[in-house]
Amino acid sequence: MSNRVLDISLTVNGERLQTRVDARKTLVDFLREDLALTGSHIGCEHGVCGACTVRVNGEIVRGCLMLAVQCDGGSVETIEGLSDSGEVADLQAAFEQRNALQCGYCTPGMLATAQDLLKRGDVPSRDEIREHLSGNYCRCTGYHAIVDAVEAVAHARAGAKK
Amino acid sequence: MKPAPFAYAKVRTLKEAVALLAKHKDDARLLAGGQSLIATLNMRLSAPELLIDINGIKGLDGIAKKGKFVEIGALARHAQVEHSDIVARHAPLIALAMPHIGHPAIRNRGTFGGSIAFADPAAELPACLLALGGEIDIAGPKGKRKVKADAFFKGLFETALRPQEMVTAIRVPAADKNTRVGFAELARRHGDYAIVGLAASARAGGKGLVDVRLAFFGVGATPVRAKNAEAALASSNIDTAVAALDLAPHDDVQATARVKKHLAGVLLRRVAEQLMEPRP
């Protein structure tokens, strides 16, 4: 009943898969090493930096603070999935346009977290954007350009809906 | 770093969890939200032989008003508590504290019971529980028992929980029209552990406050009640209460003891004003 190696089945970016994982393997290591989905980055490995942010069962989580084995039966979406589906295409374009990234290390986590806020459907204030992104470190931009980009997309999406 | 190897068992019932804990004793750790545990595994500050995943136990994540109390299941996620109408209406202190706990991605996983059982001295929820005079439901091999918050937090990461026991629920008195609450914390970054924080409750009585409970966090090995300041705030005014603050914080990586003591006074002024305002 308890084991160091376990069989799991899960959906990653819409694809069903069955595999065997070490119990000790974190979700982000599993994504990067076993599935070669290297868009999820590893920064601090203790939940502080947010570079490993992915969606599990529709909600953003820290990929370093969840075990792969805990995703058995669940659904995981990474930046690769969010990119391919076009769900964050407008955010990606806005980040590029406003120089909301330099080295890009934090960007996958930033995009996943920003999309988590924007999918609520309203237009958040700049303070709300900052608060929602508070768990994602960026050491390049000073955040202003990121907040600008997220705000612009929020307005654009609200405008497009009218 | 990466965790040292461990075995993993996902349990479906409380009984299974308690039985496994009893069998493996100190070699096992319960995995709830994992937002502190997995970080310590990654850093190899902790290296258990077995992780007992309790996320599959049904019925431990409820939030309900039961008579004069609000009961929150141990597996209720922070995000669930944050967005609960019952908590907003009947446990306003907890509602005030929730946005300060970690970040959205952390609150989606972290659990209420986990935060209480882990008892980080700089965490918000242990202090809230202490300020509200709540109680903790515990299950173990000998059955169930309850412990008051005042007797639960014993030392640095040390609680009244015995090695084979687990937290199953938390209960706090439901607010009524005379309930007053206040909350404030100072952190380097929103969502980080507090440098100093204060969770407080009181009751409006006569022209002032009665039953004042001030629970500071980040100033000692456990959340700490400032009893002299409580009495001073009830019988006198804010200045007297600040002067009566009898905290003895230690230096830590975030601030010196002197800074912490000063900040505790700043927070007390802010929170005292919140306590004096009637609830809408």
B57-86 pLDDT, tens digit per residue, is: 999 999 999 999 999 999 999 999 999 999
Average pLDDT estimate for B114-141: 97
Count CB pairs under 8 A between chains A and B: 101
Residue A30 per-residue DSSP state: I
Domain end, chosen from B173, B196, B221, is at B173
C-alpha distances out from residue A144 to A51, A95, A103, A113, B103, Å = 18, 11, 16, 16, 19
Is the CB of A66 less than 8 angstroms away from the CB of B109? Answer: yes
* Interior/surface letters A26-63, b for 16+ CB within 10 angstroms, e for the rest: bbbbbbbebbebebbbbbbbbbbbbbbbbbbeeebbbb
Q: Is residue B1 part of a domain?
A: no
pLDDT tens profile A109-131: 999 999 999 999 999 999 999 99
At residue B277, the pLDDT reads 83
Is the CB of B9 less than 8 angstroms away from the CB of A2? Answer: yes
What is the CATH number for B222? 3.30.390.50
CA dihedral B42, B43, B45, B48 (to 10 degrees): 20
Class of domain A86-161: mainly alpha
At residue A1, the pLDDT reads 46
Measured CA angle at A55 (ends A73, B188), to 5 deg: 130
pLDDT tens profile A2-59: 699 999 999 999 999 999 999 999 999 999 999 999 999 999 999 999 999 999 999 9
Task: Answer yes or no: are the C-beta atoms of B109 and A62 closer than 8 Å.
Answer: yes
> Are residues B219 and B166 part of one domain?
no
What values do phi and psi take at B264, rounded to 5?
A: -60, -40
* Domain A5-82, classified CATH 2.60.40.1170, yes or no: no
Q: Is residue B108 part of a domain?
A: yes
State the residue range of the domain holding B74: 63-173
At residue B99, the pLDDT reads 95
B3 inside 8 A of chain A by CB: yes
pLDDT tens profile B168-198: 999 999 999 999 999 999 998 888 889 999 9
Task: Answer yes or no: are the C-beta atoms of B21 and B30 closer than 8 Å.
Answer: yes
Using CB atoms, pick whichever of A23, A47, A67 lies closest to residue B39. A47
Residue A134 per-residue DSSP state: T
Average pLDDT estimate for B147-165: 96
Closest CA to B94 of B159, B37, B147, B171: B171
The pTM is what? 0.95
The total number of structural domains that make up chain B? 3
At residue A2, the pLDDT reads 60
* A134 contact residues in B (CB cutoff 8 A): 103, 189-191
Closest CA to A151 of A132, A125, A131, A121: A125
Please state, as a whole number, how many other Cβ atoms lie within 10 Å of the Cβ of residue B279: 12
pLDDT tens profile B219-267: 999 999 999 999 999 988 899 999 999 999 999 989 999 999 999 999 9
pLDDT tens profile A96-107: 999 999 999 999
Cβ neighbourhood burial of B28 (10 Å; 0-12, 13-18, 19+): buried
Element housing B268 (H / E)? helix B257-276
Question: Which one of B43, B52, B98, B106 would you mutate to disrupt binding with A, by most A Cβ within 10 Å of its Cβ?
Answer: B106
Cβ neighbourhood burial of B203 (10 Å; 0-12, 13-18, 19+): middle
Amino acid (1-letter code) at residue A43: G
> Are residues B269 and B197 part of one domain?
yes
Domain end, chosen from B173, B204, B223, is at B173
